[in-house]
Structure 1
Amino acid sequence: MVGFFPTPYPNELLYSTLARFHIRSGNISPKSTIEELFGSRSVTAVVDLSSNIDSLVGNLPIGNNQTSENLIMENTLYPFYSAFLPPERATIVLQSMKGNSGGSIHSRTGVMASTIKENRYIRVCKECSIESLKNYGELFWVRNHQIPGVIICSKHKTLLYDSKVLIHHFNKHEFVPASVDNCNISDEYTNLTNIGEVIESEFIPKYIKIVDNVDKLLNNRYPNKPPEWFFSQYIERLKLMGLANINGVVKQKELREQFLNFYGESLLETVQSSINDSDSSWLSTMVRKPRKTVHPIRHLLMIQFLGITLEELLNEEVDYLPFGESPFPCLNAGADHYLKPIVTDMTIRYDSKIKRPVGTFHCSCGFVYARSGPNSSEEDRYKVGRVKEFGQIWEAKLKELLQMDLSLREIARRLKADVNTIKKYGQRLNECESELNHKGKENIINGGSFRQEWLDLQKKYPEKGKTELRKINSRLYTWLYRNDRKWFNSSSPKKKQNITVNNRVDWDKRDAEILELVKAIVEEILNSNDKPERITISRVGKKIGKLSLLEKHLSKLPRTNEYLLQNTDSVRDFQIRRIKWAIKECEREGYDVQWWRVVRVAGIRDEWTEELEVEFERISSINSFN
């Protein structure tokens, strides 16, 4: 147990607090410090997502009121990186940070697989540093400044700059404190204060809103939602904006164009989220069924583009209602409830010809009408595109008006219909009345003989049902159905009960089986001494002979899906594995491990060499230290 522990400053990184402890403890060796704090000499100093925090809290002085959860939520980047994770995975990351499972934290949050790169150096705001010296007499590392893509201080709106301290320090056990020397606050180049030098002026307010939302994520505890929640919310909003049809199919080209116009290329470059015309860009991937973890910065970009707030996204479920909310008005001018909101039966389909949703409204009075949407005003609720069925009540009203000897034009005005429609249905009513009079006489003459004929037909074909008998004598069937239905239904063969066999797939069992196969293949790829293969869903699917299943039904295999999310390679992950393999190959062959040789052995493309050289240096430094 340590004799003292510094109180964390507001928004101070836990890494920074531990660095201040190291200075005040008088320890010369970083390993002595971590042994005092954690009871172990193998703990790694991590800037963003620290681990072993339970051990730390257990070694704090008696009376110290810090808890593991408070330190994680208030002094690490966990609230930011966990905000859009599924609840179960966010819990696992939290437990890993409390415990000693630090090695899986960055992969579970998606940091490792993201194309948004970590900052290379710890970042500093000059104004915050001056205030810190004035208020506390020392500097500290502010957690809000360490988010990749955030280049301004949310408090002062001035540009951040790199300190001299690497995020991944050469000594992985050393907590490096902020100081006047390593923060460069006296250097002239730190006086950059004009964000307009980096982002076009018209897009600066949108960028500031993104930075403010980063602060919200860090300083509030929002409920975690499953990936399907965000996908559904985004699609529903895109429908409202006309960028997705009623079936949820996104108009990718229009989305990319509007997104780029909304943010501008300079802003997107600043947050490492440029988009191209490819359907495989991060933006296109984000509005498809969720299979990968998306960086929180990109969620914040999408949220602002859709015109919603964080609170609305996380607390309010949005439904696309192109025709407004139920109930809808009945537009049957022949009914007593005309224009009253009583219609609750409404179906929507997407018309690919007119590229618009079409709603069909069914009233209990038999009146069925349809119109295209979406509504542009409240008056649209009272418009009819096409009447599909008028119904008996409307026809009865028409008959009543015809008997009043009104003109067709007057009847059409009262029933809100075309004159030709009135003519058509008037003639039909007259024909039906004549037919009914004729059938009434026919019923008296033929009813008995038709009944007997139906009974005889059943005796002749005792094994057949009503539908099969209809095919044998459709005329007899139709007559009895129309004119003697009650007797017909009671004197017909009863409907046979079909015995259905349950051939449904046991997806839980299949998930367990596929998961074992997938794990075996992933382990085989990772443990192979041959040149690395990239771990992708398609490659794993091909190797286990289940490619179609993984492509079409992965959502029904939750454990397999979760495992693949954690273990598939991004392009960057794969390139790093190739570098590590190439280093081992060079050592095995007895060559000097030099960057140009590693590039050649690993087969790294030119466009990756500059970025990956930083990783090579980090890996080499770790290897040499060990």
Structure 2
Amino acid sequence: MTRLAYFPAVYPGELLYSLLARYHQHTGVPSSIHTMEALYGQRLVVASLDLPGHLGALADHLPAGAGWTALRIANELTLLHYYTAFQPAAVRRHACGAMLQGQTDGLMMRLGMATFRAGRVTTLRFCASCLRQMHGEYEEYYWRRDHQLPGVLVCPDHGCPLQASAVSLTERGRHIYVPADGQTCPMSAPVVVGTQKDEVLADLQRLAVASRALLEDPGTARPLNGWTTQYRQELQRAGLAYSARRIDQRRLVERFRHHHRSVLGQLPGLMTGKHFSGDWLAAMVRKSRGAFHPLQHVLLRDFLDHQDTRAGLFGEGPWPCVNPLAQHVGKEVISTVALHRNHGHHVGVFKCDCGYVYTRSYLEGSGTAGTPRFQAYGPLLASALSDMIMCGNSLRATAKHLQLDPKTVVKLAGDLAIDTPWKRRAEVKQQGPLRPRMATNLRQRRPAKSGSRSRQPSNWPERDRQVSRQVLRAANEIRRQEPPVRVCALQIERRTWNRGWLNKRASKLPKAMRCLRAVAESVPQFQRRRIGWVIHQMDLASESLRIWRILRKAGLRSQHAELVATLLAEHLESNRKLMA
């Protein structure tokens, strides 16, 4: 294998495409085919802008003292870090390996980027101010990596709009490297952003700097659901979530649009009219089912960075652990707090690594945090509770040591299957003979008042028929209710009698109980009825009948997606027959 005798020095922030274009220009080789053969050892290599392939072969042909390995080329001269910044570690390794080996066909699709309209840059861009600096320092121009990122419309350094060069990758040959010079980068070239407002340019520059940061340091790889979890936690701290699992989508969209009001119309592929293309903002904070474009991550992270977080409700972390059994009791070792709302007020859940969990409520009226309330003890409780019982400690002494209510101690001991003397004494007390005074009182009967009517025995067969009719009437009323409510014994009793009324008289009302079993719905039956109602209501409102939307409105999880698809198909087929 023949190594190159000459290879140009790499300029700051230069793109590999630019470096190879300058090599072709410096060597003066008339044919790009010969340049490809000298660089890669083969003629038909695609001159890719963002994710080039055959980097292993290129590194093998570079001069021995150049110090450029294939991995270093991929990390420092391409856009690999940008497109894989929010991908799992396995996907990062796969993408890098594909570039080193030359298997880049369909790589964008494998990364999940091909479905986004915020796609690849096909016309090279430049900054006029940067070109003047390049010419002053190096006496030639070059293409910068950060100028070719999707969504970067202004120069991260100067804040001025980027300009579209005369180099279009879709109009030129696939195997040609075109250098930056006075002809390809004329100062009269059109700008890629349609505004000169300082406010808009400042916002675009902030996003450009954030996009460039991904090239320099993409951060630690994490699974796709890891990003969803982080965004949900930050939205919760920003007061944009009902709980750890429910996001206030309406307020999120309103505040997101207001924060990015100056740039959403300038960035390509994000909006369809006044709506987000593909509803990507809502999808990013739901259960993750795939990758999202780095530009969308940049926008959401920028939005979250500018929100007032609610973590300050309980002060700035870390927070103390109040486990009386831990050696670190009272020390600030809890680094995170989970927030949710309960009956209109915020609740913070503090979980220590020792397993102890406690909660605190934020009292909005006084602006203070409530006292810690025990929620879970963790693995330290079992051994400590057993030791205190063996030492003969009383229930109150044990409760005082554990800083719990005595009844809570008895319950925890039962959950841990620990035999306690307090429980045994309670059982003996309950099974013992009645005290003389109590027995006397129970034997005594108050004489009936004179003139009072004696209680007549109930006619249970007639009562059974009446209750059956009441059950049917209540079931029909429940079925007519909107939104749908499940027909069950509890709902029927609430409408007609008190809770538990039927079950207490089940042996005397056999016909009513058979009627109840006939009209009651199982959970799957109610889910089917509710899904059908949701589909019908959405169709009447001309809403998009997407499966995830139906699941959300019906209050179901993704495991019911197949059922929703079946009922949706039946609904569409029924509509088609009616239209025929």
TM-score when normalising by structure 2: 0.57
Cα deviations by residue, 1:218-275 (Å, 9 ceiling, x for unpaired): 1225221111111110000111112112241111111100101111054453254237
* One-letter amino acid of the structure 1 residue matched with residue 371 of structure 2: Y
* One-letter amino acid of the structure 2 residue matched with residue 264 of structure 1: R
User: How much has 1:278 moved relative to structure 2?
Assistant: 7.0
Which whole-Å CA distance do the structure 1 matches of 2:56 and 2:209 have between them? 31
User: How much has 1:321 moved relative to structure 2?
Assistant: 9.3
| Aligned 1:126-165 pairs, distance under 5 A | 126-165=128-167
Matched, 1:379 2:368: yes
* One-letter amino acid of the structure 1 residue matched with residue 344 of structure 2: I
Q: Secondary structure at the match of 1:165?
A: strand
What is the match of residue 315 of structure 1? none
What is the match of residue 256 of structure 1? 253
Q: Quick one: which of 297, 300, 304 aligns to 1:299?
A: 297
Checking the alignment, whether the CA contact within 8 Å between 1:243 and 1:251 is kept in structure 2 is yes
User: How much has 1:320 moved relative to structure 2?
Assistant: 11
Checking the alignment, whether the CA contact within 8 Å between 1:198 and 1:266 is kept in structure 2 is no
| Aligned 1:71-150 pairs, distance under 5 A | 71-150=73-152
What is the match of residue 37 of structure 1? 39
Larger relative contact order, structure 1 or 2 (CA cutoff 8 Å, min sep 6): 1
Q: Quick one: which of 344, 348, 358 aligns to 1:354?
A: 344
- Give the 3 Å change call, closer, same or farther, for CA 237–3 of structure 1 in structure 2: same
Cα deviations by residue, 1:316-348 (Å, 9 ceiling, x for unpaired): xx9999798464599xxxxxxxxx999x9xx99
Which whole-Å CA distance do the structure 1 matches of 2:217 and 2:369 have between them? 42
User: How much has 1:143 moved relative to structure 2?
Assistant: 0.9
- Give the 3 Å change call, closer, same or farther, for CA 121–259 of structure 1 in structure 2: same
Checking the alignment, whether the CA contact within 8 Å between 1:149 and 1:272 is kept in structure 2 is no
Which whole-Å CA distance do the structure 2 matches of 1:28 and 1:222 have between them? 42
Q: Quick one: which of 181, 185, 202 aligns to 1:179?
A: 181
The structure carrying a bigger helix percent of its residues is 1
| Aligned 1:562-577 pairs, distance under 5 A | none
Cα deviations by residue, 1:355-377 (Å, 9 ceiling, x for unpaired): 7558799xxxxxx9987548798
Checking the alignment, whether the CA contact within 8 Å between 1:237 and 1:306 is kept in structure 2 is yes
Which whole-Å CA distance do the structure 2 matches of 1:360 and 1:52 have between them? 51
What is the match of residue 216 of structure 2? 219
Q: Secondary structure at the match of 2:93?
A: helix
User: How much has 1:62 moved relative to structure 2?
Assistant: 3.2
Cα deviations by residue, 1:96-133 (Å, 9 ceiling, x for unpaired): 11111021322233332222032331001011111112
What is the match of residue 267 of structure 2? 270
Checking the alignment, whether the CA contact within 8 Å between 1:50 and 1:76 is kept in structure 2 is yes
Checking the alignment, whether the CA contact within 8 Å between 1:125 and 1:161 is kept in structure 2 is yes
Checking the alignment, whether the CA contact within 8 Å between 2:361 and 2:371 is kept in structure 1 is no
Q: Secondary structure at the match of 2:66?
A: coil
Q: Secondary structure at the match of 2:94?
A: helix
- Give the 3 Å change call, closer, same or farther, for CA 27–549 of structure 1 in structure 2: farther
Identity %: 26
User: How much has 1:135 moved relative to structure 2?
Assistant: 1.4
* One-letter amino acid of the structure 1 residue matched with residue 210 of structure 2: N
- Give the 3 Å change call, closer, same or farther, for CA 104–242 of structure 1 in structure 2: same
Q: Secondary structure at the match of 1:131?
A: helix
Matched, 1:228 2:217: no
Checking the alignment, whether the CA contact within 8 Å between 2:347 and 2:362 is kept in structure 1 is yes
Which whole-Å CA distance do the structure 1 matches of 2:299 and 2:140 have between them? 35
Q: Quick one: which of 32, 56, 61 aligns to 2:58?
A: 56
What is the match of residue 6 of structure 1? 8
Which whole-Å CA distance do the structure 2 matches of 1:203 and 1:376 have between them? 40
Checking the alignment, whether the CA contact within 8 Å between 2:160 and 2:201 is kept in structure 1 is no
Checking the alignment, whether the CA contact within 8 Å between 1:348 and 1:360 is kept in structure 2 is yes
Q: Secondary structure at the match of 1:228?
A: helix
- Give the 3 Å change call, closer, same or farther, for CA 356–278 of structure 1 in structure 2: farther
- Give the 3 Å change call, closer, same or farther, for CA 78–381 of structure 1 in structure 2: same
TM-score when normalising by structure 1: 0.53
- Give the 3 Å change call, closer, same or farther, for CA 252–16 of structure 1 in structure 2: same
Q: Tell me how large the CA RMSD over aligned residues is.
A: 4.8
Checking the alignment, whether the CA contact within 8 Å between 2:243 and 2:341 is kept in structure 1 is no
* One-letter amino acid of the structure 2 residue matched with residue 117 of structure 1: G
Q: Secondary structure at the match of 1:63?
A: helix
Cα deviations by residue, 1:407-446 (Å, 9 ceiling, x for unpaired): xxxxxxxxxxxxxxxxxxxxxxxxxxxxx89978749x99
Matched, 1:288 2:286: yes
Structure 1 portions without partners, runs of 5+: 310-317, 331-339, 362-367, 385-391, 398-435, 447-535, 539-546, 554-626
Checking the alignment, whether the CA contact within 8 Å between 1:245 and 1:355 is kept in structure 2 is no
Which whole-Å CA distance do the structure 2 matches of 1:43 and 1:139 have between them? 24
User: How much has 1:150 moved relative to structure 2?
Assistant: 0.8
User: How much has 1:69 moved relative to structure 2?
Assistant: 1.6
- Give the 3 Å change call, closer, same or farther, for CA 113–320 of structure 1 in structure 2: farther
Cα deviations by residue, 1:269-328 (Å, 9 ceiling, x for unpaired): 32542375579511011111111211111111111211279xxxxxxxx99997984645
* One-letter amino acid of the structure 2 residue matched with residue 288 of structure 1: R
- Give the 3 Å change call, closer, same or farther, for CA 359–291 of structure 1 in structure 2: closer
What is the match of residue 237 of structure 2? 240
- Give the 3 Å change call, closer, same or farther, for CA 326–54 of structure 1 in structure 2: same
Checking the alignment, whether the CA contact within 8 Å between 1:152 and 1:159 is kept in structure 2 is yes
Structure 2 portions without partners, runs of 5+: 325-329, 352-356, 374-394, 401-428, 440-545, 549-556, 564-580
* One-letter amino acid of the structure 2 residue matched with residue 4 of structure 1: Y
Which whole-Å CA distance do the structure 2 matches of 1:234 and 1:438 have between them? 57
User: How much has 1:15 moved relative to structure 2?
Assistant: 0.7
Q: Secondary structure at the match of 1:305?
A: helix
Which whole-Å CA distance do the structure 2 matches of 1:380 and 1:121 have between them? 56
Checking the alignment, whether the CA contact within 8 Å between 2:345 and 2:362 is kept in structure 1 is no
* Pairs aligned (count): 386
Q: Secondary structure at the match of 1:222?
A: coil
* One-letter amino acid of the structure 2 residue matched with residue 263 of structure 1: H
* One-letter amino acid of the structure 1 residue matched with residue 252 of structure 2: L
Checking the alignment, whether the CA contact within 8 Å between 1:279 and 1:285 is kept in structure 2 is no
Q: Secondary structure at the match of 2:305?
A: coil
User: How much has 1:27 moved relative to structure 2?
Assistant: 2.0
Q: Secondary structure at the match of 2:369?
A: helix
With 57-66 and 95-104 compared, the bigger mean Cα shift is at: 57-66
